[in-house]
Amino acid sequence: MTDESDGSGFPLIGDQFPELEVETTHGSKTIPDDYEGKWFVLFSHPGDFTPVCTTEFVGFEQRREEFEELNAELIGLSIDRVHSHIKWTEWIDEEIGEDIGFPIIADESGDVADALGMVHPGQGTSTVRAVFIVDPDGITRQVLYYPKEIGRNIDEVLRSLEALQTHEEEDVALPANWPENENFGDKALLSPPGTVEEAEARAAEAEAEGYESYDWWFTLKEV
């Protein structure tokens, strides 16, 4: 296993995601190479057969097609064996009626969790609820951490993925609560001009393109 992050012990935003050879419920995988050309969302859970984690896995599975429509794959992880993952997902299928269709990494040694900064002081030896969103080039684009006591908001993970892709496609930034901002709806923000000349030209650009401009540094457009 190689780690190409900045040396902090886990990949930060903008870092190349470390190369990981892992065993999963779908067989051996090399991450991120096996997902080249796709986005992926890798998320950890503290343990199999635990209530909050079960609700999360059911929630992710129920939204899996939405992730796939955004060219993104889901990958789970905990410090459990493959056999435990298989029995747990069988229980979820039998008792809740959801067939978990994404792979779950078996990390009994904890090596993967350590490489990704998923084991935090004061939280025991199991992983916290970490989320890594990684782009088709293997670059870490977003990192989220939740405590063990709080289940993740899957809407927010999907929103973040869609926002990152919109940024890539449109070269814009996205406001708070996008695409349902209380004041600006689903509009996006243009990057502020970087020079005096660009700032002076922004008003004319906004008028010509039909942008909603409050000032040279605060301009919105439809996406």
As annotated, the active-site residues are: 53
Verify cis geometry, omega within 30 degrees of 0, for the bond prior to 175: no
Tell whether pTM > 0.75: yes
Which two tokens mark 45?
């859970």
User: pLDDT digits over 39-92, tens only?
Assistant: 999 999 989 999 999 999 999 999 999 999 999 999 999 889 999 999 999 999
Q: Residue 140 has what pLDDT?
A: 98
Q: Residue 2 has what pLDDT?
A: 39
Contact assessment for residue 49 and residue 91, using Cβ atoms and an 8 Å cutoff:
yes
Which two tokens mark 90?
């069988």
Q: Name the fold adopted by 20-153.
A: Glutaredoxin (3.40.30)
Q: Residue 124 has what pLDDT?
A: 63
Largest CA distance in the chain: 64
CATH architecture of 171-223: 2-Layer Sandwich (3.30)
Contact assessment for residue 117 and residue 9, using Cβ atoms and an 8 Å cutoff:
yes
- Residue 157: pLDDT band (50, 70, 90) is very high
How is the chain split into domains, by residue range? 20-153, 171-223
Non-local (6+) Cβ contacts of 34 within 8 A are none
DSSP 22-39: EEETTEEEEETGGGTTSE
Nearest to 128 by CA among 53, 20, 51, 54: 53
Residue 180 above 50 pLDDT? yes
Q: Residue 117 has what pLDDT?
A: 85
Whether 171-223 and 20-153 are alike in CATH topology: the answer is: no
Q: Residue 123 has what pLDDT?
A: 62
User: pLDDT digits over 118-147, tens only?
Assistant: 887 766 667 888 999 999 999 999 999 998
How many CB atoms are closer than 10 A to CB 34?
14
Point out which residues pair with 218 in neighbouring strands. 215
